[in-house]
């Protein structure tokens, strides 16, 4: 019997976050994936450097790759330093890869990284979302809802 997955992931230290993802995409399903990194990449992430603002994930030859994520070179690295924007392999179970591949192929969904973090065991992880792009009118509705929630909270605070 399979072990049940927790509803939220154990994030000890969040390194990079894609804050625009929840505005630009409708999030359907969220996965936790490991990252195959080189030594200097891990050191850069531990210093809190890294960006996934324009990154995405793609499936090639049965493997999932994180593309366009920027992890800058380690400042104290030597000639064996890493390339900042190289594609990085994401570590997922085969069933999860098949599920992602089916959704991307059939439903036209996108794989968007939401955050890079270290878990309690000190491993670098990526929170990967299966998402569908929002239209302009959906984004406007999201902004209206957010403004209304803010105004409602302000009114309730004032009334006591």
Per-residue pLDDT tens over the stretch 24-78: 898 999 999 999 988 888 888 888 888 899 999 999 999 999 999 988 888 777 7
pLDDT (mean) for 127-156: 92
Task: Label residue 4 by pLDDT band (50, 70, 90).
Answer: low
Check: pTM over 0.75? Answer yes or no. Answer: yes
Helices (DSSP H) in the chain: which residue ranges? Answer: 21-24, 39-46, 94-107, 136-159
pLDDT (mean) for 103-122: 90
Per-residue pLDDT tens over the stretch 63-101: 999 999 988 888 777 777 888 888 999 999 999 999 999
Under DSSP, is residue 117 helix (H, G, I), strand (E, B) or coil?
A: strand
Q: Is the pLDDT confidence value at 1 over 60?
A: no
Q: How far apart are the first and last CA of the chain?
A: 51
Q: Is the pLDDT confidence value at 2 over 90?
A: no
Residues 13-134, CATH architecture = Beta Barrel (2.40)
Q: Is the pLDDT confidence value at 9 over 70?
A: yes
For the chain, percent of residues with pLDDT exceeding 90: 46
Q: What is the dihedral of CA 136, 151, 129, 121, to 10 degrees?
A: 160
Determine contact, residues 115/16, Cβ cutoff 8 Å: yes
Under DSSP, is residue 7 helix (H, G, I), strand (E, B) or coil?
A: coil
The DSSP output letter for 122 is S
Both tokens assigned to 152: 């409602």
pLDDT (mean) for 104-130: 91
> Of residues 1 and 79, which shows the higher confidence score?
79
> What residue spans define the domains of the chain?
13-134
The DSSP output letter for 112 is E
């Amino acid at each position: 019997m399979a072990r049940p997955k927790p509803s939220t992931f154990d994030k000890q230290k969040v390194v990079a976050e894609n804050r625009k993802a929840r505005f630009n995409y409708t999030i359907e399903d969220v996965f936790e994936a490991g990252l195959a990194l080189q030594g200097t990449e891990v050191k850069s992430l531990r210093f809190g450097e890294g960006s996934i603002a324009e990154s995405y994930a793609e499936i090639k030859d049965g493997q999932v790759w994180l593309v366009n994520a920027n992890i800058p070179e380690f400042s104290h690295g030597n000639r064996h330093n890493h390339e900042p924007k190289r594609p990085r392999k994401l570590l997922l179970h085969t069933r999860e890869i098949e599920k992602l591949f089916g959704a991307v192929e059939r439903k036209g969904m996108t794989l968007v990284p939401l955050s890079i973090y270290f878990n309690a065991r000190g491993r670098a992880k990526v929170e990967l979302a299966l998402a569908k792009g929002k239209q302009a009118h959906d984004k406007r509705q999201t902004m209206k809802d957010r403004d209304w929630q803010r105004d409602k909270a302000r009114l309730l605070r004032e009334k006591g």
